[in-house]
Amino acid sequence: MSSESSTLVHDWPGRYHHIDQVLNTPGPRTDPGFLAGDGVKDFLRNKAKILVIGAGGLGCEILANLALTGFKDIHVIDMDTIDISNLNRQFLFRQKDVGKPKATVAAQFIMNRVPGVKVTPYFGKIQDKDDDYYLQFDLVICGLDSVEARRWMNATLVNLVDPEKPDSLKPMIDGGTEGFKGQARVILPTITSCYECSLDMLNKPTAFPICTIANTPRLPEHCIEWASVLEWPRVHGDKKMDTDDPDHIGWLYKVAAARAAEFKIEGVTWSLTQGVVKNIIPAIASTNAIIAGTDGVYSYTFEHEKRDDCPVCGGEAVDMTINSDTTVEQLIEILIEKQDIQIKKPSLSTSTKQIYLQAPPQLEQATRPNLEKKVSELVPPGGEITVTASTLPFSLSLRISYEA
């Protein structure tokens, strides 16, 4: 249906009749004594300030649901622009919007359709905002397609909590979809398990050992990773790769195809190149709608357990036993592969020495010789290694022990 032929949702006396039936009636997953009452309804519709992170397939559904439910003050953050491939499921956008910021277009669309709702967009990264910005909201809802962004947001909200200031606790509702599968959960920072506590439940990320992609590629994916991880920084220096730029993808495809031909590997295509570097996840509009409504078909509900060694909300060091002959490079590959850690480019240090730093280039070059050294030569039994990554706002402490 075109925007010209659609009908506006007018503010009339019975507008929230169906929503009130939900709010006034205890459900199977709520406290039996729960009744929202006029005070709660007034807060939700006139005072609550909501932040939505992500204006993609899930974010579009969330924004529409919030506006039609009666929330009046909504903010939305998204760093992406609209691509023509989004239009089949991100229903707040039209062909004329291609190339424009998702947050800006989504906000204007909602305000045009739902009277009385103010949607404030921000076209940029969540990392651009400081603590004071996030403290102004009553609720944060994430419709992200990035594990790194979820981890950053989760850690930020946990760090905001001040036991002396109850209002500093900002609940986070997180949702995600992949094809016909999806999940939604509520995180109360420092009270329930946080996102980091349950990393081991995620699908194992695809990671290729550096030595394989550098020396003995066997798969087309190895050639694409070689082009993006090794060749791009070698040729372009500090210039950041933009995975949404067709010229950048084209360069990677050309370089990866040449390497594949050199090793007689078939299967490097433009679409595979784009899929590898962007980690594209299949999206289906119906799944987005179900998860955005926090409802489910054949659903299963359970409570995640808090981890004492969670680097965000736990505080205890993670015990790790490795072979006494394990090198620093091998330890890095173990960390990349480890399901409950999942750090793509870890830097390692102790309280007294830098073991290996991914950046800046000068320090990477200076610490590179350590990659071939045994960890046992650098860290005594029971010693702790601090693991950091530029994409995460926290550090992980590893307590190392050795086996023969």
Give the residue numbers marked as catalytic.
211
Contact call for residues 287 and 177 (beta carbons, < 8 A): yes
DSSP state of 268: -
Phi/psi of residue 2, nearest 5 degrees: -75, 160
DSSP class per residue in 75-144: EEEE--B--GGGTTT-TT--GGGTTSBHHHHHHHHHHHHSTT-EEEEEES-GGGS-HHHHHT-SEEEE--
240 burial level (CB within 10 Å; 0-12, 13-18, 19+): exposed
Asked if 198 contacts 337 with a C-beta cutoff of 8 angstroms, the reply is no
Tell me if 287 sits within 8 A of 367, measured CB to CB. no
Q: Which two tokens stand for residue 160?
A: 């905001």
CB 13 within 8 A of CB 30: no
Amino acid at 4: E
